[in-house]
């Protein structure tokens, strides 16, 4: 029991219950009534409510509709101080009993008390105990609240970063990956001996780190339809039916890897458009989420875990689609490599061509309406045109024997001349395919048959082509004229001569 001196006597304070001792009603006289109106300073209110001065200052600033602790400036002991009456203090205590009781649990702890908590946390965490369990243990040991222990730990780590107490973070990326793969937070908490709260914090932290690493690394071909209403429903809708054509038989004596390529069906034009549109749309979505997560205005602690899930799902779906397109076109690499390889570099060319094909999948703009095989053929052959001559020069560099030098030089010159001819033919075929890609199916059929493109035999007459297509000779001629006009416009755009390309 302690007493606080008033202007008119003594007011008793019961420290065990932090309430003012009010005299019996029958014993109240005029002096005690006057004493009950005494105004208490902030230091005295701290003792009465058993809270800190900072807490009282915060309560005084509460809105009036929350019944703040009324106070005013007045002269006490010759100095101007903030005071309140006992009636105001008790009214606040009654109306905010939970708030007062909660604040009374906090007080200023000594350096030794805080050091004891830090030492206990360091010892428990070093044994592999989760952070949540360690904090709970320190709270029980010290008699502090869990929130107070967390505050002490946070202040220690901030003040002493070189001696910060941290949990083992070596498994953080595994936790993130496993959660993305579908493992529940409860199972992860059990497996890695952490609380669910820590698991979610780890997922959010690792997700934000992963997004920061990928900033600017997502490359795709944009399309205006991606931002249209209901774009996702339409683009990610049912896939077109696959091709019904029979798979070709692999060539004899092919290695098992190459023979396996013939088990993958080619894509129809509709499938190809669908898959390229889907792949780029998923990357478009992932890039938008990435920009939001990495925005300077975004608070990392407020990012939804659902955003990370959607981000990873978009990337994985795009990767799956990209691999499907790539595998369906691997036979194209083999077909081109067969025409330009020798027995020593065939597999090397295929490996090089596979990489060129993969890059072509990533860079192909499906929105232009061209077939991917045309674009990919150009990319593969362009790469071959650089690698094949270099390979021949390197092989000649290691040839020895003076007696054969002249024959070797003649053979190399002959080989290079043949390669140059092949390369010119490849370039012409690629350009032809690009030009034909601007025509519709019937126009393309007429031009191919008329000029004998991609065929061993020569071209056919207008009458023969008309009979095949079921139209008259005159109608075939009209369509041919329309097609030639389109080809010339595209050839002018590419700065090539349509006559030279088609060898008209």
Q: How far is CA 264 from CA 190, 324, 327, 476, in A?
A: 43, 10, 7, 37
Q: Which SS3 state, helix, strand or coil, does residue 255 take?
A: coil
Q: Which of 31-45, 164-178, 322-336 comes out lowest in average pLDDT?
A: 31-45
Residue that finishes a domain, picked among 211, 238, 271: 211
Q: Which residue has the tokens 């990392």?
A: 300
Residue that finishes a domain, picked among 88, 104, 120: 104
**Residue 52 lies inside a defined structural domain of this protein:** yes
How many other CB atoms are there within 10 angstroms of residue 129's CB atom? 18
Mean pLDDT of the region 190-205: 84
**Residue 155 lies inside a defined structural domain of this protein:** yes
Same domain, 125 and 182: yes
Rounded Cα distance between 264 and 247, Å, is: 8
Question: Are 319 and 311 contacting, i.e. CB atoms less than 8 angstroms apart?
Answer: no
Rounded Cα distance between 46 and 56, Å, is: 8
Same domain, 66 and 115: no
The 3-class secondary structure across 362-386, one letter per residue, is HHCCHHHCCCHHHHHHHHHHHHHHH
**Residue 395 lies inside a defined structural domain of this protein:** no
Question: Are 255 and 294 contacting, i.e. CB atoms less than 8 angstroms apart?
Answer: no
User: Residue 375 contacts by C-beta under 8 Å, 6 or more apart in sequence?
Assistant: 360, 364, 434
**Residue 180 lies inside a defined structural domain of this protein:** yes
Indicate the pLDDT class of residue 28, thresholds 50, 70 and 90: very low
Give the predicted TM-score (pTM) of the model.
0.53
Cα distance from N-terminal residue to C-terminal residue, the chain: 115
Same domain, 121 and 201: yes
Same domain, 161 and 116: yes
Same domain, 6 and 99: yes
Most confident of 14-28, 30-44, 134-148, 249-263: 134-148
Indicate the pLDDT class of residue 255, thresholds 50, 70 and 90: confident
Same domain, 90 and 143: no
Tell me the per-residue pLDDT of 396-427, one tens digit each, with 9 for 90 and over: 344 333 333 434 333 433 444 444 455 556 66
> Does the pLDDT at position 88 exceed 50?
yes
Residue 70: which domain range? Answer: 2-104
**Residue 289 lies inside a defined structural domain of this protein:** no
Question: Which two three-digit tokens encode residue 257?
Answer: 């890897």
User: Residue 59 contacts by C-beta under 8 Å, 6 or more apart in sequence?
Assistant: 68, 69, 92, 96, 99
> Does the pLDDT at position 81 exceed 70?
yes
* Of 312 and 503, the one with more pLDDT: 312
* Of 412 and 73, the one with more pLDDT: 73
What is the sign of the dihedral through the CA atoms of 36, 42, 46 and 47? Answer: negative
Indicate the pLDDT class of residue 176, thresholds 50, 70 and 90: very high
Same domain, 17 and 100: yes
Q: How big is the CA angle at 71 (ends 66 and 76), to the nearest 5 degrees?
A: 165
**Residue 35 lies inside a defined structural domain of this protein:** yes
Same domain, 38 and 124: no
Q: Which residue has the tokens 């967390």?
A: 150
DSSP class of 471: S
Most confident of 321-325, 353-357, 432-436, 458-462: 321-325
Domain tally, the chain: 2
Q: What backbone phi and psi angles, to 5 degrees, belong to 8? A: -125, 20
Indicate the pLDDT class of residue 263, thresholds 50, 70 and 90: confident
**Residue 150 lies inside a defined structural domain of this protein:** yes
Residue that finishes a domain, picked among 83, 104, 125: 104
Same domain, 90 and 122: no
Same domain, 116 and 70: no
Same domain, 127 and 206: yes
**Residue 325 lies inside a defined structural domain of this protein:** no
Q: Which residue has the tokens 């053979």?
A: 411
Same domain, 118 and 193: yes
Beta bridge partners of 83: 41, 72
Indicate the pLDDT class of residue 456, thresholds 50, 70 and 90: very low
Tell me the per-residue pLDDT of 363-390, one tens digit each, with 9 for 90 and over: 999 888 888 988 888 888 888 877 665 5
Q: Which SS3 state, helix, strand or coil, does residue 43 take?
A: helix
């Amino acid at each position: 029991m302690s007493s606080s001196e008033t202007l008119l006597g003594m007011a008793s304070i019961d420290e065990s219950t932090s309430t003012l001792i009010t005299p019996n009603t029958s014993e109240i006289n005029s002096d005690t009534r006057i004493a009950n109106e005494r105004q208490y300073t902030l230091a005295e209110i701290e003792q009465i409510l058993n809270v800190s001065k900072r807490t009282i200052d915060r309560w005084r600033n509460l809105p009036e509709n929350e019944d703040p602790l009324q106070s005013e400036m007045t002269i006490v002991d010759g100095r101007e101080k903030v005071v309140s009456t006992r009636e105001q203090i008790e009214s606040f205590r009654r109306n905010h009993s939970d708030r007062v009781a909660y604040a009374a649990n906090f007080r200023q702890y000594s350096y030794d008390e805080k050091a004891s908590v830090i030492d206990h946390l360091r010892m428990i965490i070093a044994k592999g105990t989760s952070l949540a369990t360690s904090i709970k243990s320190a709270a029980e040991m010290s008699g502090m609240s869990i929130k107070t222990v967390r505050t002490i730990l946070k202040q220690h780590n901030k003040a002493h970063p070189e001696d910060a107490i941290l949990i083992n973070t070596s498994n953080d990326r595994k936790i993130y990956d496993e959660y993305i793969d579908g493992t529940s937070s409860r199972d992860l908490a059990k497996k890695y001996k952490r609380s669910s709260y820590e698991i979610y914090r780890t997922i959010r932290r690792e997700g934000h780190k992963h997004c920061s690493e990928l900033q600017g690394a997502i490359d795709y071909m944009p399309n205006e339809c991606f931002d249209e209403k209901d774009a996702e429903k339409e683009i990610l809708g049912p896939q077109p039916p696959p091709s019904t054509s029979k798979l070709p038989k692999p060539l004899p004596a092919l290695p098992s890897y190459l023979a396996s390529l013939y088990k993958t069906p080619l894509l129809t034009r509709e499938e190809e458009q669908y898959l390229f549109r889907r792949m780029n749309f998923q990357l478009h979505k992932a890039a938008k989420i990435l920009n939001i997560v990495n925005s300077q205005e975004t608070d990392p602690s407020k990012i939804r875990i659902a955003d990370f899930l959607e981000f990873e799902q978009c990337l994985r779906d795009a990767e799956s689609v990209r691999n499907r397109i790539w595998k369906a076109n691997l036979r194209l690499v083999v077909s081109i490599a067969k025409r330009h390889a020798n027995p020593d570099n065939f597999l090397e060319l295929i490996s090089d061509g596979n990489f060129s094909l993969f890059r072509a999948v990533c860079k192909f703009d499906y929105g232009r309406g061209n077939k991917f095989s045309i674009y990919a053929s150009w990319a593969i052959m362009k790469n071959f045109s650089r690698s094949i001559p270099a390979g021949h020069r390197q092989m000649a560099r290691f040839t020895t024997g003076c007696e054969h030098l002249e024959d070797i030089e003649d053979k190399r010159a002959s080989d290079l001349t043949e390669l140059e001819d092949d390369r010119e033919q490849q370039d012409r075929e690629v350009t032809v395919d690009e030009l034909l890609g601007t025509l519709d199916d019937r126009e393309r059929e007429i031009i191919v048959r008329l000029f004998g493109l991609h065929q061993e035999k020569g071209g056919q007459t207008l009458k023969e082509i008309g009979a095949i297509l079921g139209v008259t000779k005159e109608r075939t001629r009209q369509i041919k004229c329309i097609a030639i006009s389109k080809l010339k416009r595209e050839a002018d755009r590419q700065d090539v001569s349509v006559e030279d390309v088609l060898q008209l």
